[in-house]
Amino acid sequence: MMHLNDKVPEKIGRIAELAYNLWWSWTPEARGLFRRLDYPLWRKTLHNPVQMLQEISPAKLHQAAQDSTFIRQYNKVMMLFDETMNNNGTWFHETYPDLGDKTIAYFSFEFGLHNSLPIYSGGLGILSGDHAKEASDLGLPFVGVGFMYPQGYFRQRLPSHGWQEAVYQQLDISQAPVLPVLDGNGHEIRISVNLAGRPVHARIWHVRVGRNPLFLLDTDVDENEPWDRELSARLYSGDSETRIRQEIMLGIGGVRALRVLGINPSIWHMNEGHSAFLILECIRELVAQGKNFEEASSIISKRSVFTTHTPVPAGHDAFSFHLVEQYFNGYWDELGISREHFLGLGGHEEEWGMAFNMTVLALRLSGLSNGVSKLHGEVSREMWQEVWPSNSADDVPISSITNGVHVPTWIAGEIHNIFDKYIGPGWLKEHDNSKIWLRLAEAPDEELWLVHLALKRKLMGFLRERVRSRWVNGSNDPTQVLTSGTLLDPEALTIGFARRFATYKRATLIFRDLERLQRILLDIHRPVQIVFAGKAHPADEPGKSLIQHIYNLAKHNQLGGRIAFVEDYNMHMARYLTQGVDVWLNNPRRPREASGTSGMKAAINGIPNLSILDGWWVEGYNGANGWAIGDEREFDNQDAQDEYDANSIYQLLEDEIVPLYYDRDRDGIPRGWVEIMRESIRSNAPMFGTRRMIKEYTTELYVKAILASEATPA
């Protein structure tokens, strides 16, 4: 940040400080400031203020410093920024005034905060990022721990044959909102972890997420061997050995990073099992202080919270005993237990044999555990009953807190303005209060509809401009020009489907009866079109096959340009899609979706969901705010389930959704449709925001853990 400060005129000198705090990314006034500074550059950098300030001309900065209107806006934003950072008057501060020094450490393998920091792959990372942002908004004493992936997750490229290719690009860290953590002499702070007999070192990066820090470990340092420098290079790549090394570094290294920074958390929260080795490191510290293993594990258990996100057994990390022995030989001696006892902490029978399961380790050693929706809680209790063999499934100690989305991040500016106007300018502070949303009835149908049409035009413009720019720079072939959205009709009913391409999400379900779908899409009076986006894991061949199938259909002229597949889905694109389509489609195989959050983003923007009654939608659907595919049945025969659900989609489109969308009055307003949009917002905005979610985590997990640990001090 130093060289940026040298470049920026003193009158607007703190704009660099603002650029390095991601608070700007969910604060309209701050985004407006950067937009005003240089709008073409704002667009070119995909809304990255750090890159903007590096590339902007000194003349432009001096011009802004002399612009009285810009200075007024700058002063207003910095005043708001300082008030926010002050942390007084927040929900946590007022509700738990005596717990302000009880730090909550939140560990996650990925954090989806902004597209300028691509260290996320999908829903888990976006949830972690939203969790961190809301923790800041509510004033929680919170610190995040994760990895700095210099190559991030892969960039998706679709050649003319449609088979996904993974392209890894080195992140220019100088253009990202991250800063190295330095000691008093200006040197980078390092930690080290023993991996199979040799120390592996990591530097620490600092990301400012509003009021709270996020620390990211990075093994790409000179002290390490070349293969160790690559350890944190990429997200979700490599074999089991790479994965266990990453998870040791995250769990054990993450604890050591906080210790060297002088941070001693009261609560350790593991978001998924990837970081579960942190519990062992915390136990090891207490054993070194004189406790035995049972005493230490009892103390740490009371301080540990574990959230599981995966309702599929194969989705939980498990390592062979041989691999665990290779990396933990000698470590169990430091815990004061035997090899057999150590392996038993995570021992679990997998399909391929006995193994060390990270979820089992976390469940056994955490005092509080939860799933991420009511249905997922039920599934998890049944799935992990064997960890508590004397308990019935109902008595398995896994609760549930349904996921949410960070409303300020995902709400469209135009929708935000409508809420300011009709709900009140203070709506954001109490958006988890369902009563305030009754005021949305005062917003005229015409206004809601015109705002939606404006957002739909923005989506279509974004897709066309994306294709044009890629065509100009030579990264698009002619096929992609046709398949990536340029042929879409801005007037047609537009369905959005964007998420990770895993087979259980059934991306191609709507194509099961292609002839019937064609009739729906190509109706000249009531046309329908579908936009797809999403990545398959680089090792997921069936997922890549689904992408290729849709891509080839998008090329098919018999579908009249009504199918588009937009490559390289990311947070930036997600905002346009979840704000600009007409219907959000989600059809996973029930009950395999733990929660899902993309549909929540659509719902709060007035985009009705067309979804299976799985994950969050079982709780969100009320009969008037969207549509339910099928019912709550679960099938033994997958083909029968697919047939049943596909027919339900077609029938809903033919009989309800398409007719309602095109039923316009004399003013061209689809009154019935707008009422569903309104109800989608009214019913879902208070329930499925991270504000409600973090308050539940705080009262149901964090505070309970703090009280339990204080009752049994170390």
- The answer, yes or no, to whether residue 511 has pLDDT greater than 90, is yes
> 216 near 207, Cβ under 8 Å?
yes
Residue 713's pLDDT is what? 57
| pLDDT tens digits, 256-300 | 999 999 999 999 999 999 999 999 999 999 999 999 999 999 999
- Integer Cα distance of 703 and 708 in angstroms: 8
At the top level of CATH, the class of 101-403+695-711 is: alpha beta
> What pLDDT band is residue 234 in, cutting at 50, 70 and 90?
confident
> Which tokens is 685 given?
């905005």
- Integer Cα distance of 296 and 509 in angstroms: 51
> What is the share, in percent, of the chain residues with pLDDT greater than 90?
89
- The answer, yes or no, to whether residue 475 has pLDDT greater than 90, is no
CATH number of 408-688: 3.40.50.2000
Residue 714's pLDDT is what? 54
pTM of the model: 0.97
Domain boundaries, the chain: 2-86, 101-403+695-711, 408-688
Average pLDDT value for residue range 531-553: 95
Contacts of 664 (CB under 8 A, 6+ apart): 670
Q: Containing H/E element for 191? A: strand 190-195
Per residue, the 3-state secondary structure of 470-502, as one string, reads HHHCCCCCHHHHHHCCCCCCCCCEEEEEECCCC
| pLDDT tens digits, 169-210 | 899 999 999 999 999 999 999 999 999 999 999 999 999 999
- Longest Cα separation, the chain: 80
CB count in 10 Å sphere of residue 475: 11
DSSP states along 127-153: HHHHHHHHHHHHT--EEEEEE--TT-S
Mean pLDDT for the chain? 95
In order of 11, 44, 56, 65, 478, the CA distances from 7 in angstroms are 12, 20, 10, 12, 42
Work out the angle between the directed axes of helices 339-346 and 321-328 (0-180°, nearest 10). 120
| Residues pairing with 493 in the sheet | 528
Residue 3's pLDDT is what? 60
- The answer, yes or no, to whether residue 238 has pLDDT greater than 90, is no
> What pLDDT band is residue 552 in, cutting at 50, 70 and 90?
very high
Residue 712's pLDDT is what? 67
- The answer, yes or no, to whether residue 1 has pLDDT greater than 70, is no
Residue 425's pLDDT is what? 93
Is there a shared CATH topology between the 101-403+695-711 domain and the 408-688 domain?
Answer: yes
- Integer Cα distance of 639 and 426 in angstroms: 50
- Integer Cα distance of 596 and 404 in angstroms: 9
Measured over the CA atoms of residue 164, residue 166, residue 167 and residue 169, the dihedral's sign is positive
> 587 near 661, Cβ under 8 Å?
no
In the sheet that 347-350 helps form, which strands lie side by side, from edge to edge? Answer: 318-319, 353-357, 347-350
- The answer, yes or no, to whether residue 509 has pLDDT greater than 60, is yes
> What is the share, in percent, of the chain residues with pLDDT greater than 70?
98
